[in-house]
Structure 1
Amino acid sequence: MKIQAINGFKDILPDQMLLWRRIEHTAAEVFQRFGMREIRVPLMEKTELFVRSIGEATDVVEKEMYTFSEKKTTMRPEATASIMRAFIEHGMHVQQPVQRLFTIGPMFRHERPQKGRLRQFHQLDAEIVGATEPQVDAELIAMGQLILDELGLSTSLEINSLGCQECRPPYRRKLISFLEEQREELCEDCRRRTHKNPLRVLDCKKTACKTIAHQAPSLLEDLCEGCSSHFAQVQEGLDALEIPFTLNRFMVRGLDYYTQTTFEFLTADLGAQAAVGAGGRYDGLIEQLGGPALPGIGFAMGIERLALLMEQNAEEPLEQQTDIFLAALGEQAPQPCSRLIHQLRKDGLKAAMDYSGRSLKAQMKQANRCHARFVLIIGDSELEQQQGVLRNMQSQEQQSFPLTGSPQEQSQSLLRLLQL
């Protein structure tokens, strides 16, 4: 019996990797334009890190984490907590007051696999630590929007504010009172969370609870003066950058550490998995994890979902091109061809060759399969005459190519002819 991949864990095949590489390269390039620096954090952390940061009463901690209980360790379900742990552990705030960090990699959550949602999934993650200004919130959102724009994806942006420690308590009491009146209609999880963590009720995906949540009082109505001013300036910043958005007063996100600005990039093209990216401000998280009292804001984007959207929008699939294919024919050609192809690769060309000695027709088919721009045909007779045949695979034009000189000299001649 064949061994197959674990449910929710998916292979990323070579043809798909072309698209993934484009997403990762585009994101990394945009991040660097905004002064972001790459960080890589472990896949495994102490379980306490996620309990303290994400929140004990969240679905992620209660139901979705891959935890090794005897070791008290967990495979990371998201990147922000790990980056903040590294930030604190290495005293990065001492080196530079404002840190702009990004990472790209896999996360793990035990949830029901479906389109765009896997148990091992991959994210682009960006964090700005040490900046309180609302203009930074707008800039971070603009960075996420620019990544989507450069990938050719059309999404909508929704924003909200979750307030701060000053304005949340009065709203919390108001929300609990409302939820108590609706208690009989709530699911079992939401009944349990009503007093422990009422904001989580607003994030419930059950139909009945979602209906109740849309009737609940909005935190926007209870924002303190500081949070209200901050959120207004975020909106002004987005308007100034010509980034359209809508207010969603029901958005709370699924993690407890969020404060003030929260946002989501949404699509209508992936069914129930509408969010392709989301984030927000987490001004108390670093102190909560034992670090200095510094603010922070960040977002994550799901690479699987970005790839699905790009596949749906693509007019034709991405193909990995080869600059030149060497068709070696006969008994004598493979050896000089192997020396030449090695030199071509050293000089930066994407070059391919068939060592099996198959017919010219078979090798030309292989050249087409690897999307070669040119084919250099070298057989025993070409070696004897010291003239190979260089074919342009697009125009089908052919010309002679001298096989004199060293492999280095031949490679430089080919570079000039191919204009690479």
Structure 2
Amino acid sequence: MINALRGMKDLLENDGKLYKFIIDTCEKVVKNYGYEFCEVPKLEETALFKRSVGQSSDIVGKEMYQFIDKGGNDVCLRPEGTAGVVRAFIENKFDRAGGVRRYFYHGSMFRYERPQRGRLREFHQFGVECFGEASVYEDASVILMLNEILNTLGIKTTLKINSLGDTQCMPIYKDKLIKFVQNNTENLCQDCLRRLQTNPIRILDCKNENCQNILQNAPLITDNLNQICNDDFNKLQEILKANQVDFQIDPKLVRGLDYYCKTAFEFVSNDIGSQSAVAGGGRYDKLCEYLGGKSTPAVGWAMGIERIMEILRQQQKETKRQGIYICALNSNLIDEIYKIGKMLRKNYKTEISYEAKSPNKHLNIADKKGFEIFLCLGEDEFSQNQIWYKNLNNKDEKRISIANLESEI
């Protein structure tokens, strides 16, 4: 049998419904903010991502699905969405046309990394990109938009924000950071030593505990902003407060990509293990220029669909269980549970298992399918005209008289 590749997952049945529900929710919100759908290729020249995402990023350094095609072209599957949309924006000469353009997209992204909960090698993102609007009000709008989506989906998150400065204040800050780090290199990990030579700002993003301990006393970008960046950052906070959006300022938030400037933000959740970002973005005013286009202010965000799906699955298990799963431990009891199940179906959604399995195997099936009530008949119970009952919401379990089953449920 041929199986799906490691880190690649099918979207079937409930997963397919959940994926579609998330996409539909996102689309409804972003369209009200004036964003229009766009689609760009999943396969691009590798140079696009090396130039945009940055040589210092883990994506370019370790994770891209890169290969030489039959025509001798160096290509890769897209690891993120923004670069391709920017490339399309420039290629269609929209950078020369002026005005403001707002796009949304969704689809597969690819990164060769260790598959884990909420993180796959082929994963899906929903993202938005706004071109031609330099006002910090647009930064606030994309955050408010994303906040509205997460609230609509019923997902609790913490918003973290930072300012990465601009081409005037960032170089000054980088010099200060480099001097600080160079005096503390003995315990830095190999990745940070490499970043020190390529893009020192990315050292702040390191998850290594030793590196984080060293960085506790590092200079902060928020203390080194010029007047324009500082005013914009203060205005962003003012707008968020006026719209009752709670946030935390995280001076070490730099995101995982090299192209951000000024506003950077992440929505993080504790519901998928250790605190993880489920969505994030920021401003990238120089990216169009880096990719050969006319300098164009831009801001956007991307949301990880699999991470959102993982949270919603947990919520469904906890709060949206429904129906009855009835099963037998012995094949000679199938007729008995069939009679009981037929009776229950008059008032309840009921699934009858026609196979005799161990209690644990039956329980796993009922749990995965999201049933609320688990009923299981064994020889012991049958001899006493009883059935074993378990509530998969509150974990209560007991034996119930079959004659009183409906009233007990």
The 2-side partners of 1:188 and 1:21 are apart by 41
C-alpha distance after superposition, 1:126-167 (max 9, x if no partner): 111111111111111000000001111111100000001100
Match for residue 201 of structure 2?
199
The 2-side partners of 1:16 and 1:169 are apart by 46
Query: Which of 249, 264, 272 is the matching residue for 2:266?
Result: 264
Q: Which amino acid aligns with 1:16?
A: D
State the 1:95 CA deviation.
5.4
Match for residue 56 of structure 2?
57
- Residue 254 of structure 2 aligns to a residue whose secondary structure is coil
The equivalences for 1:177-256 within 5 A come to 177-256=179-258
The 2-side partners of 1:273 and 1:72 are apart by 36
C-alpha distance after superposition, 1:232-288 (max 9, x if no partner): 111111112111111001101110000000000011111135110010000100011
Query: Given the superposition, is the C-alpha separation of residues 21 and 318 from structure 1 closer, same or farther in structure 2, using an over 3 Å criterion?
Result: farther
Asked whether the 8 Å contact 2:98–2:132 carries over to 1, the reply is no
The equivalences for 1:25-40 within 5 A come to 25-40=24-39
Asked whether the 8 Å contact 1:116–1:273 carries over to 2, the reply is no
Query: Which of 126, 144, 153 is the matching residue for 1:151?
Result: 153
Q: Which amino acid aligns with 1:144?
A: L
- Residue 214 of structure 1 aligns to a residue whose secondary structure is helix
C-alpha distance after superposition, 1:21-79 (max 9, x if no partner): 11000001111011100000000001010011011111110100000145210100000
C-alpha distance after superposition, 1:175-210 (max 9, x if no partner): 001111110100112112213211111111222122
Tell me whether 310-319 or 49-58 shows the greater mean CA deviation.
310-319
Query: Which of 111, 116, 119 is the matching residue for 2:118?
Result: 116
The 1-side partners of 2:107 and 2:350 are apart by 31
Match for residue 77 of structure 2?
75
Asked whether the 8 Å contact 1:125–1:301 carries over to 2, the reply is yes
State the 1:96 CA deviation.
5.8
Match for residue 138 of structure 1?
140
Match for residue 277 of structure 1?
279
Asked whether the 8 Å contact 2:95–2:293 carries over to 1, the reply is no
Q: Which amino acid aligns with 2:207?
A: K
Match for residue 13 of structure 2?
14
The 2-side partners of 1:109 and 1:318 are apart by 37
- Residue 217 of structure 2 aligns to a residue whose secondary structure is coil
The 1-side partners of 2:349 and 2:162 are apart by 52
The 2-side partners of 1:233 and 1:135 are apart by 8
Match for residue 316 of structure 1?
320
Tell me whether 303-312 or 85-94 shows the greater mean CA deviation.
85-94
Asked whether the 8 Å contact 1:220–1:249 carries over to 2, the reply is yes
The 1-side partners of 2:181 and 2:119 are apart by 30
Tell me whether 269-278 or 251-260 shows the greater mean CA deviation.
269-278
State the 1:5 CA deviation.
1.2
State the 1:93 CA deviation.
4.1
State the 1:108 CA deviation.
0.3
- How many correspondences in the alignment? 326
Asked whether the 8 Å contact 2:96–2:294 carries over to 1, the reply is no
- Residue 238 of structure 1 aligns to a residue whose secondary structure is helix
Asked whether the 8 Å contact 1:66–1:110 carries over to 2, the reply is yes
- Residue 304 of structure 1 aligns to a residue whose secondary structure is helix
State the 1:369 CA deviation.
8.0
**Unmatched tracts of structure 1, length 5 or more:** 320-360, 371-420
Query: Given the superposition, is the C-alpha separation of residues 318 and 177 from structure 1 closer, same or farther in structure 2, using an over 3 Å criterion?
Result: farther
Higher Cα radius of gyration: 1
Equivalent pairs: percent with the same residue?
Answer: 44
The 1-side partners of 2:198 and 2:67 are apart by 26
C-alpha distance after superposition, 1:366-420 (max 9, x if no partner): x9689xxxxxxxxxxxxxxxxxxxxxxxxxxxxxxxxxxxxxxxxxxxxxxxxxx
The 2-side partners of 1:303 and 1:201 are apart by 27
The 2-side partners of 1:141 and 1:41 are apart by 24
The 2-side partners of 1:13 and 1:43 are apart by 22
State the 1:317 CA deviation.
5.8
State the 1:94 CA deviation.
5.2
After TM superposition, the score normalised by the length of structure 1 is 0.74
State the 1:212 CA deviation.
2.1
Q: Which amino acid aligns with 1:78?
A: E
- Residue 282 of structure 2 aligns to a residue whose secondary structure is strand
Asked whether the 8 Å contact 2:285–2:297 carries over to 1, the reply is yes
After TM superposition, the score normalised by the length of structure 2 is 0.76
- Residue 143 of structure 1 aligns to a residue whose secondary structure is helix
Query: Which of 156, 172, 175 is the matching residue for 2:174?
Result: 172
Matched, 1:47 2:46: yes
Match for residue 349 of structure 1?
none
**Unmatched tracts of structure 2, length 5 or more:** 324-341, 352-409
Match for residue 399 of structure 1?
none
Match for residue 300 of structure 1?
302
The 2-side partners of 1:22 and 1:220 are apart by 38
Query: Given the superposition, is the C-alpha separation of residues 29 and 95 from structure 1 closer, same or farther in structure 2, using an over 3 Å criterion?
Result: farther
Q: Which amino acid aligns with 2:54?
A: G
Asked whether the 8 Å contact 1:163–1:224 carries over to 2, the reply is yes
Q: Which amino acid aligns with 2:6?
A: N
